[in-house]
Structure 1
Amino acid sequence: MFRPEFLLVLGSLLAVGASAANAPAGDPKATEVWSPVPVKVTPGPTAGAPPSDAIVLFDGKNLNAWKSEKDGGPAKWRVERGELVVAPGTGDIQTRATFGDVQLHVEWYAPQLPADKVDQDRANSGVFLQDVYEVQVLDSFENKTYVNGQAGAIYKQHPPLVNASLPAGKWQTYDIIFTAPRFAPDGAVKSPGRMTVLHNGVLIQNNAELKGATAYIGAPIYKAHGNMPIRLQDHSHEVRFRNIWLRKL
């Protein structure tokens, strides 16, 4: 009669043998990829600082990268203490350069307002990718509004997955990964746009599919276009921005 210890060892050896018999044959190097080697990018020295391949759109010094959306002239917003401040009534501003797929970093600040300012009348602005796809800026810390219009919403399309807002008076961040829509020669949509958004480091939009250009009234629709500017919205509130940069993808 075999001892239990012998049977245990025998079972282990049989299991190892079966595993070896089922292992794939050949050289493991056959599945190694050595080129092309990824380009070296140096991260920023601090969290949120632009990496070495970033295009800096606002570094606190001037508005040279921006123009007025109304007339194409110089942007009329103010630069104060290294911050970009919406000048209510002057209109939106947009980048002079145009972009497609990007990683965009934006920091924004909702000013503290009287308690009677509620809903959409509370530090309202927006960050538009390709000029027509909006991520909403709003003081949504304790401010009830329609959920597809609160901070971090892809406006009137996708509410944020969670509300990651900080109180007014604190700087907040958006990190946006944007995949531009593709269009056929006849203008038909080959592939819709997509966005992933992190608000203050929290995932709030997870590869969300865009239904078309942002629309205040009615359903969003696509109109064929190529590369377009980044746009910041003047919604009559003195929202502040800083440290705006992007990477082309």
Structure 2
Amino acid sequence: MFKAYNNHFQPNLPLSFGLKLIKFSYFFIALFLLSCGETKNEKAIETEELPEHTETSSATNTATNTILFFGDSITAGYGLDDSNDAYPGVVQQKIDSLDMDYTVINSGVSGETSAGGSSRIDWVIKQKVDIFVLELGANDGLRGVALSETRANLQEIIDVVKEKSPETKIILAGMQLPPNMGQEYTNEFKQLYVDLAEKNNIALIPFILKDVGGVAALNQADGIHPTIEGHSIVANTVWETLKPLLKS
């Protein structure tokens, strides 16, 4: 599937924002229920043999630079008729419009957790990767996985990429949780992405679903996964961090 929320939770905000926050919390509750359902199929998904290099745009195999998006259902483009409409595909379109020599690979798996990502990173990184975008952890947070475990899994993924592909540039896509998950847990979850980015000296997208999460018009009927328009906004958010890393 390749070639191919700006809401920060802050206390003591106006009522209008509080109403939005409630809707945002409902969104995450729904996502939690769905992610639980996805758990049943998780082992099957993780062991499924996926193609190492699947393209989602018009770029040819002659491209010498590769961008790999490694994530969950957000990256996979869950619910879209055409996987090219998922944000990695939109990023490919931006690259093609600039006539840049990059091929985008979408390695997103719906229901993926940081543990699942850690278990499959070894064979995924066997291919040549110039830029690696890591978008995982949301399902961990919504299931209440210990933050130490999520942090360790994400660090392991980063370590494997650095060891097997030292020249690869890494971008970490951050996620945020609603306050109903517990203020302490929520704050620490958000901070772990910042800490990992600083520790490993890698680029950070603070909140990949900025301006999309919790906005009904930008999400599908399930209220969870972005629509085509929502993915376009996600792609713009990713592009802000990605573009400076591309070779002209």
TM > 0.5: no
- Larger Rg: 1 or 2? 1
Q: Identify, as 1 or 2, the structure richer in helix.
A: 2
Q: Identify, as 1 or 2, the structure richer in strand.
A: 1
Q: Which TM-score applies when normalising by structure 1?
A: 0.29
Q: Which TM-score applies when normalising by structure 2?
A: 0.29
